[in-house]
Every structure is written in structure tokens, then in C-alpha cells.
Amino acid sequence: MTAYEGRNSVCKVERVMGRGMASPGSMIVDRKESHFAMPKIIPSDVKRRARFGAWLFALAQFGYPIIGNIAALAHLENRTLSILFRVVVALYAVAGLYLFRRIRLDPWRLGMLFIWACYLLRLSHDYFVDGIEGADYSMQYFIAGSVLPALALWKSDTFDQSRYAWAGFMTCSLGCAMSLVGDWLGAFGYSELTSTTGRLSTESLNPISLGHLAASGILCGAVLCEASTRRLRALLVFVMAGLLLVLLQTGSKGPAVALIFALAIWAVRRGHLIKILLVSVPIALLLSTFNELPLLSRISGAEEDLSTLERVVLLNDSLQQIVASPWVGSSSVELKSGHYPHNVFVEAAMALGIPLASMFVLIVSRGAMVGWHLIGTRSNLLGMLFVQSLIISVTSGSLYGSTLLWLCLILMFGMRTSLSTKNDRSLGDAAS
């Protein structure tokens, strides 16, 4: 067999031999292997499912800030656009559920289904029986934003790191760029939080959401830099610098901690520690001279941060509520304040009871093991985003709003096909 020339060229198979193979033109040969390696044959249906999954993942997790910015720029009612956006995401996911007919069952994702069913029962009880305000919104948000997209990704059963990273990077960059430019131009109008604290936000988007959006974009960009040309890498770094500026302007400590942890683990597992230090140390020294940046101001005044103190009180009240009803839970919110406790593990025990919360902890722990393995492979994006989602979940997350956590878990558990890993074990091997 003659050697293939060109590392990234792809060609259609003119003729497919063998029983049970697809028709001519329905398979694709990937020539990214070495000159003496056999070409990798990838069904075109797999690529279609990978494209679908990448954009569903990006829209479900990173798409709302774009809608929020549009609402703020046009001075429209945000709740209407938010509901419309969730409906679009849900319909997109339902289309995937219809198109991808096969579903492979495994114990970890079945455990997630059981947790979802019990949580939906709790939200239904809170709304119809206890009359808790906001329980209906939480239920709708959870179904449209997490459950349906996760089920569609489960049925697509395909992960292509390059497609997921590009879709996530472009969506995050667009949302952050709209926020930054709109704030500079004063197009968002009056925002009480921005006017009193200087943190980047709008009436539709809080600074924590924008901070996590910027952090996710940086993680996607870091993955893309690994396999890009020098010119493309320079462009990616330029955009990532803008994302870092958005993160600093939001003044959100949680997203900054999540980004640092995810990049540190990635650097150690992938052997990029020296490179990260060479880049991060000069940046840290430069930023230390700008004390007026909201994030640096909040870090220096952490002992006076009222929001942190309020969350400590909320967490303490939630723990007391768990003690009062440890077996089946009592409510999806802390009853004194009417808010979720900003920690998914505490919320799980409070809403579902300690036994089901223990099951949830076991599922997340298994996800952490899989994520740790994946960060050391060429499918490291999922592991890095999982680290970020885990930190979000324990610092400011809720069960109904932890879309990134649910989507990362559903993708990591049981995947068999990965277009981006040629010499590593498949995601299915990692999760089995």
C-alpha cells in the first residue's frame, strides 16, 4: 500500500468491500496518521453526530449569555427571551433524541437518570404541594437546560474534542465580547451591581455567569492551542487575553479559582507545567500593578466580602435543615431564605435525603476519576471542564442549574467513539 501524503487531508472511499459495510461515499478516510499507518475509516454518520453534539453542548451550556446580552442591548424583557432560548435548546435536543434511535445503557448513567427522576419529584412536590416560589422555574430550567440535552448527547454517543472545543470557544468568545464591548459603550443601561461595585454585569447577566463563561472559553482555547499552527495559536492567545480581561472585570473569585485549578491539573498531567509558569508568572506580576481591577480588589478585601458571609449563614441553615429531615429531604431550597445553598452536595442532602445524596456523591466521585484520566490523554477537554463544573457546583451551583456538570458526566460515562483520540484509550474504556 502506498503511503499517504499530507497529515490533515481527508478523502472519500471510492469503494467499500466487505459484508455489512456502508455504501460508497458514506465512509471517510482520516489521513492524520503516520505515513505507514493504516488509514482510519470514520463513518460519516459519526461525524454528523459529533457536529450535532458539539453545538448542542455549546448552546446548552454557553449560549444563554449571548441571549442575555441581546436582551440588555435591546432593552427587552429578559425572562421572555430566556424562556424562548430554553425552548429552542430543548427542541434541538428532542430532534437529537428522535434522530439517534439507539441508546446504550450503563449503570452510571442509569444512576444519573434515577437522581434526575427523584429531583424532579422533589421539585414537583415543592411547587404543587408546598407552593414554594420558583420551584416551577427550576423544574422547567432543569428539564430544558440539562436533562434533554444530556439525553440527546447520551444517544449521540460520540465525542470529537476538536469540534467541541471550537464550538465552545466561539460561543464563549462571542458572549464575552458582547459583554465587554457593550459595557465600554454604555449600551447596557443602568446596572445596580456594576454602579456600586464596578463588577462587569448587566440586568440579565450576573458577574459569576460571565466569569465562568470567560473561564470556559480559556479552557477551550488552551486545548485548541495544543494542536494548532503558530499563527492560529497567536490568534487564540489574543482572544484568550480578552477572555481573561472579562474574567478580571467580573470580579468573580469562583471562576478564577476554577480556571486556576483546571489549568494546573492540565499542566501537570500533560507536561505543560513549565510553559504555564512561564506565561502565568509575568501575567500575575503585570496584574498586581492594577489594583483597581474588580477581581483583585475583592481578593484583597476578602475579609470584608458580605456575599461570602451570607453564604456561610445560608450553608449553616441548610445543614440544620438536613439534620431535621435526613432520610427523604425536606425541600429544594433553604426554607428561611428561600434560596438554594450554593453547594450541590448540601442541596442534594437537603432535597433528596442523605441516602440519595450519597449516591450522587458516588456518581460525581466516579466522574472525577474518569476526568483525572482524561486530562492526561488527548481528550482532555472534558476532564478540564469537569474540574471547572465541580468547583462551580460547590461554590455557587445548584442541582437544577449545574448544566456543565451533568453534560460532562453524561459524556464521560460510557463513551465508545472518540474522533480526537488515536493512540489513547477510548472514553468508554476510561469510564468502564
pLDDT of residue 195: 52
Strand partners, 221: none
Q: pTM of the full predicted structure?
A: 0.84
* Tens digit of pLDDT at every position of the chain (432 positions): 444 444 444 343 333 333 333 333 333 333 333 333 444 445 677 888 889 999 999 999 999 999 888 887 777 777 778 888 999 999 999 999 988 877 778 899 999 999 999 999 999 999 999 999 999 999 999 999 999 999 999 988 888 999 999 999 999 999 999 988 887 877 665 555 555 556 777 777 888 889 999 999 999 999 999 888 989 999 998 999 899 888 988 888 889 899 999 988 988 888 877 777 777 667 666 665 555 666 666 565 554 556 677 788 889 999 999 999 999 999 999 998 889 999 999 999 999 999 999 999 999 999 999 999 999 888 899 999 999 999 999 988 899 999 999 999 999 986 644 444 444 444 444 444
What's the first-to-final CA gap in the chain, in angstroms? 36
The answer to whether the beta carbons of residues 347 and 340 sit under 8 Å apart is yes
Answer yes or no: do 234 and 256 share one domain.
yes
Determine whether 170 is exposed, middle or buried from the number of CB atoms within 10 Å of its CB (0-12, 13-18, 19+). Answer: middle
Answer yes or no: do 201 and 315 share one domain.
yes
Answer yes or no: do 278 and 169 share one domain.
yes
Answer yes or no: do 19 and 62 share one domain.
no
pLDDT of residue 272: 75
The answer to whether the beta carbons of residues 161 and 379 sit under 8 Å apart is yes
pLDDT of residue 59: 96
Total domain count, the chain: 2
Structural domain including 2 reads: 1-38
pLDDT of residue 202: 75
Answer yes or no: do 31 and 150 share one domain.
no
Q: For residues 77 and 81, what is the distance between their CA atoms, to the nearest angstrom?
A: 7
Answer yes or no: do 131 and 26 share one domain.
no
Answer yes or no: do 340 and 393 share one domain.
yes
Q: Which residues of 362-381 are buried (b: 16+ CB within 10 A; e: fewer)?
A: ebbebbbebbebbbbbbbbb
Answer yes or no: do 26 and 68 share one domain.
no
Strand partners, 418: 159
Answer yes or no: do 34 and 63 share one domain.
no
Answer yes or no: do 19 and 107 share one domain.
no
Answer yes or no: do 295 and 182 share one domain.
yes
| Sign of the Cα pseudo-torsion (41, 43, 46, 51, in order) | positive
Answer yes or no: do 108 and 16 share one domain.
no
Q: Which of 240, 254, 161, 239 is nearest to 207 (CA)?
A: 254
